[in-house]
Amino acid sequence: MPPPKVVNLGEAALVIMKYKGFQEGYPYHGLVTGTAYNFGMTRMRGLVDSRDVQSMLEIVEDTQWVFEIE
């Protein structure tokens, strides 16, 4: 797997993630920061705090991984 594309903003880093689920729109919460990330069929890509990436990659819906690193 290629390394994730990371945007550095000072001490914080944001990772571009792609939504692969089928929800119209739903807030997914990062386990580390508690940030609500809104993804859905109308918002397939977004920036996620690097500290929340691992927990987002572990989300499964209907036996399918919901996110991948873009």
Residue type, 69: I
DSSP secondary structure string for all residues of the chain: -PPPPEEEETTEEEEEEEE-S--SSEEEEPTTT--EEEEBTTB-EEEEETTTHHHHHT-EETTEE-EEE-
pTM tops 0.85, yes or no: no
Q: Which residue has the higher pLDDT, 6 or 61?
A: 61
Q: Is 61 left (phi over 0), alpha (psi -120 to 50) or beta?
A: beta
Give per-residue pLDDT as tens, 18-64: 999 988 888 999 999 999 999 998 999 999 999 999 999 999 998 99
